[in-house]
Each structure stands twice: as C-alpha cells, then as structure tokens.
Amino acid sequence: MAQPSVFTEQLTAHLWTTQQIDAFRTAAVAYMDKATAAFPDDPLPTHRIGIVAIGQGVRENSYRLFRKLRPQGTYFSNVTPGGGVAVLLDAVAKRAAGHPEPYAHWYIDGGTPVPTNPRLTQVSWAGLTPARASLQGRMQKIYEAPVWDPEAFRTKLAQIQPAEIGMKDGTDAALNRFQLSLLTEGSGTQVFSTTFVQWAAREALRRAQPLTLFARFAPRQKDKQMDELLAEGQKQKAEFDPQGSLVDADMGAWYTWLNQQRLPGAEKSTFLAWFEDHNEAILVGPAFPKNANSTGAITLAELVSSVL
C-alpha cells in the first residue's frame, strides 16, 4: 500500500460513520490475540534496557522528580555524575557491539547528538532541522489559509514524501520513513523537542522493539500560539524553557518506561532515568526494590553497570 496513513484515516472515518468501529476493534483484538498465540516471540538474546536523561541545562530544581517512577524502583539521591552522557553512550555502544542486530540499539537526542558508535540507530532534533523547517513552512501556509480544514490538513501531512522535506535519497530509507512519521503523525513533534523525544522513544519501542534505547531530552522552546511557534521554528529564534522542559521530560521518562513494559520480556527489562549532570537517578528492574531510597554515594558508571 503506497499511502497507509491515508488509507487508515479513510477506513477509520468509514467505520465511525457506519457505526462499525466497536465491532472492528473487537475483531482486531481477537485477531491479534490469536496471531500472538500462533506465532510466539523468539527468546531475546539479552534483556532490554531503557535509559533516559532529563533536565539538560537546568542548574537548580525544586520540582520533585521521578514521582511516577519511584513506586516502581529505587531512587538514588547521591549520584556522582562523572563522565555524564559519555558514560551512558559508551554502555549503549558496548551492548550494540555485543548484539549487532539492525535497529536493536537506539540513541534519540532532543538537541545536538554526541558523536557515537555508528552501530546505533540515531535520531535527533538537530539532525532534522532542515526537514522540520521545510515542514513548518508548509504547515504555516495551511494555518494561514482562509479556510482551515483539520482533516484535510492531516491528509496533506500523511501524503508528504521524505524527499519533499529534504531527506536525501541513498540514506537509510526505513529510518527516513520513521523520522518523517515522527514529524507528520505526532502532535507537537514539529515544534517541541521534548514532545519529539517522547514520541520518538514511543514509536521506536513500538515498531523496532529494541534491546537498548537511550533517550536524551533537551530544552524545548516556550509555549506560545501555534503560528508563533511555527514562525520561530523557521527563523531559529526560539526562547527556551529549561525548567518547564524538565517537567515535560520527567513525564516523558515515565511514559517511556510504560511503553518498554508493553514489550516481550518486560519482566526482565531494566530502566534508568537520570537528572543530567545532577545527583538524582532512579533504577527500575527485577534486581531493584520498589519504592526504595538510596542515599549512599554511587557513581553514574556504577549505576549503568548495574543495569547491563
């Protein structure tokens, strides 16, 4: 099918107008249950790991972090962040070297990515700047049209091809399609980097079911009217909101863990969330007590080693 998004949109509208949506949903769930039972998942070569870094650029914080995740794992309040993001990326790269399956290890960055191992599937906010600018220009013209039709707007987004917004041919076609879908199907992914990272992590887990996922949140621009956000995105003159971004990212870490738990092998998976360049972190997994606190000194490298 050349345009699955358009087909899905049209099918959904048809099911609603003919009052068949409930029956379709019931049939779809029953079909997936039977398909899953008939074709069980192969055993994983190793357990899944999710790593999320939040709060980039925040100096002081009074917001209580990880309030959703704390009941699920062990909260650490005395982490020495020596090495920082490089420690996390090194651990992810080692896992990729040990299990070099395609699209099994992801690095998603809400800002400018740190150079890392080419074995990692990399998606970044900065890397998609030309594509986002092109898409934002299209979106602004539609917003400013005399007649605003949200359904037609969504259809136009679904019909865009990677090359139309500057994604080069000859690169990873599957990854280009994935990145295009992030920008055209997600709500707010075109203008808010925190939303982009959260959605990218969700879709990577859902589609690729990776063994390793490292998502790094970065400051997003301040919330304004959509036409202002689109205009600022094209001019690259956005005002950033590090503290608000920290709150967004904290919730994004929670959603990332939830999405990881929906995958096969969830009972053995581990998850690390860290307040970047600060001393707070949380570990979730079978080896870590739930709703527990640790005040003992520990390094970031030791935390990472405990989830590998």
The 10s digit of each residue's pLDDT in 188-225 is 898 899 999 999 999 999 999 999 999 999 999 876 55
- Better-predicted residue by pLDDT, 66 or 233: 66
Verify that 1 and 127 share a domain, yes or no: no
Verify that 87 and 18 share a domain, yes or no: no
Q: What's the rounded mean pLDDT across residues 263-288?
A: 97
CA distances, 4 to each of 49, 177, 183, 254 (Å): 31, 12, 16, 30
Verify that 100 and 19 share a domain, yes or no: no
Verify that 182 and 61 share a domain, yes or no: yes
- Global confidence as pTM: 0.87
pLDDT at 77: 97
Query: What is the total count of domains within the chain?
Result: 2
Per-position DSSP letters for 20-46, written without gaps between them: -HHHHHHHHHHHHHHHHHHSPPPPPSS
Q: Please write the tens of the pLDDT for every residue from 216-240.
A: 999 998 765 555 655 555 555 668 8
Verify that 90 and 144 share a domain, yes or no: yes
Three-state SS at 102: coil
Sign of the CA dihedral with 216 first, then 221, 223, and 228 last? negative
Verify that 158 and 32 share a domain, yes or no: no
Per-position DSSP letters for 206-220, written without gaps between them: HHT--SEEEEE--PP
Distance CA 184, CA 127 (A): 16
Verify that 97 and 156 share a domain, yes or no: yes
Name residue 213's amino acid. Answer: L
Q: Do 237 and 37 form a contact (C-beta atoms < 8 A)?
A: no
- Better-predicted residue by pLDDT, 270 or 308: 270
Verify that 227 and 192 share a domain, yes or no: yes
pLDDT at 232: 56
Verify that 193 and 229 share a domain, yes or no: yes
Which residue range is the domain that position 126 belongs to?
48-307
Verify that 1 and 69 share a domain, yes or no: no
Verify that 244 and 120 share a domain, yes or no: yes
